[in-house]
Structure 1
Amino acid sequence: MHDFNRRTLLGAALALTATGFGTLGFPGPALAQADIGRAANFIQTTGQDLVAAINDQSRDIAARRQRVSAVLRRAVDVDGVGRFIIGRWWRQASAQEQQEYMKLFEETLIRNLSARFGEYQGVRFSLGRSQQRTEDDVLVNTIIERPNSAPFSLDWRVAEIGGQPKVVDVIAEGTSLRLTQRSEYSSVIQRNNGSVAALLQAMRGQIQQLAAREQGR
């Protein structure tokens, strides 16, 4: 399975990343007209919450991971993201495979960040400009700074889903993380003769590697 590290910065961030993407046509809640100020405030709050969780040295890794998990569940339409990324293969998966995929997908989002708490210690972020992307979503720019590293830019695509702002994509260096992840997942399935089970196995292996990394093994 391909290395998802670059894309997941997100996802988590931060992934940051990576990864609801209703404007591209997957089944999901209807989008309302986006509000630039509301989107910017949402990213400001979400970013502050993630930074606080990452930098909280008073808690052990498990407690910080739980805190990050709560932020991501609130900020990201995990079901919508997961459905978009697996794409057409969702319909070919059994009900049991669909259920396991969603569980594994959420776990990868969380683990991809918690496995890198050390790397992101001392992380800071600031808001850049916000712009209306379409009538349904807003692009909010942020600058991410880490000690001893050059600052980099992340653009957060925010849409109103079910009456709440949600992150629906993260764009790093001009690359949509959701589209990259979708291509990688599809590649795994195609290389294994259309087997969704092969993707699930690869995802389980990825989670095991991230868990070991989190524990410093």
Structure 2
Amino acid sequence: MLKTCLSFSRRTALGVLTTALVSVAALSSPAHAEDAQGFVTSFGGKLVGIINSDKSLSEKRAEVLPLLQDNVDIATIGKFCLGRYWRTATPEQQAQYLKLFHQVLVNAVTDKIGDYRGVSFKVTGTSNTPNGELVSAQIMRPGQPVADMGLLIAHDGGMKIVDMIGEGTSLRLTQRQDYSSYLARNGGNVATLISALERQLSHRH
């Protein structure tokens, strides 16, 4: 049986993404549009304006959606998570899988929008990696220990978030391991994963 898709994100990486993006606007360091830290700060500033508005939760979700689509490379994350099975999937399966993955990831973030209040966020540095620039930070929430996190920013064709790291663990790597394990138990048939994602979305509420 497939684990809840993005189960890691609901536990930790979702907190990484949502908390970081909701509270990053409080950063005191200057933002520069050309660097990764400035990119995260700018994105967070837009997001925090939505989160802290007096609009209904449904309105907030509707406004957050285009921000995620514009600033998070969901397709690249989805392809990475499918791993070697991406090459064995038919073009139709690839398209269907990415559509479902997109909705699952968006739901994982937007479903938690109302849960992140009273947080503070501090960028602790940036570093270059073979896969992009990693923006490191600490998240403080009332009554909870400080959490280290990171957002991996790719520069191909414009900056976008391609991974979230929490508790030293990569969201996309954890999810790829989950998918690979599921597919290995089901003969490598991508159609079975697609069906599992469809069931997950149908049971969302």
| TM-score of the pair, normalised by structure 2 | 0.80
Match of 1:200 among 169, 194, 201: 194
Conservation of the 8 A alpha-carbon contact between 1:124 and 1:146: yes
Residue 14 (str. 1) matches residue 8 (str. 2):
no
Unaligned runs of 5+ in 1: 18-34, 213-217
Letter of the 2:168 counterpart: G
The alpha-carbon distance between structure 1 residues 159 and 107, as it changes in their structure 2 partners (threshold 3 A), is same
Please report the RMSD computed on the Cα atoms of aligned residues, expressed in angstroms. 2.6
Match of 1:54 in 2: 51
Match of 1:87 in 2: 83
The alpha-carbon distance between structure 1 residues 6 and 76, as it changes in their structure 2 partners (threshold 3 A), is same
The alpha-carbon distance between structure 1 residues 94 and 133, as it changes in their structure 2 partners (threshold 3 A), is closer
**How do 1:1-217 residues align onto structure 2 when only pairs under 5 Å count?**
1-3=2-4, 4-8=6-10, 10=13, 14=17, 38-56=35-53, 58-134=54-130, 137-162=132-157, 164-210=158-204, 212=205
Give the deviation of 1:128 after TM superposition. 1.7
CA distance in 2 between partners of 1:165 and 1:100 (Å):
25
Conservation of the 8 A alpha-carbon contact between 1:15 and 1:109: no
The 3-state SS of whatever aligns with 2:151 is strand
CA distance in 2 between partners of 1:103 and 1:193 (Å):
22
CA distance in 2 between partners of 1:168 and 1:106 (Å):
13
Conservation of the 8 A alpha-carbon contact between 1:82 and 1:102: yes
The 3-state SS of whatever aligns with 1:118 is helix
CA distance in 1 between partners of 2:91 and 2:200 (Å):
22
Give the deviation of 1:175 after TM superposition. 1.0
Letter of the 1:155 counterpart: G
Give the deviation of 1:105 after TM superposition. 0.9
Sequence identity (%) = 33
CA distance in 2 between partners of 1:16 and 1:72 (Å):
14
CA distance in 2 between partners of 1:181 and 1:167 (Å):
16
CA distance in 2 between partners of 1:185 and 1:16 (Å):
26
The alpha-carbon distance between structure 1 residues 133 and 89, as it changes in their structure 2 partners (threshold 3 A), is closer
Post-superposition Cα deviations, 1:99-147, rounded to whole Å, max 9, x if no partner, equal 111111111111001222232234442322122234x622111222334
Conservation of the 8 A alpha-carbon contact between 2:13 and 2:165: no
CA distance in 2 between partners of 1:12 and 1:196 (Å):
29
Unaligned runs of 5+ in 2: 21-31
Conservation of the 8 A alpha-carbon contact between 2:124 and 2:136: yes
Q: Matched residue pairs, number?
A: 191
Match of 1:23 in 2: none
The alpha-carbon distance between structure 1 residues 146 and 12, as it changes in their structure 2 partners (threshold 3 A), is closer
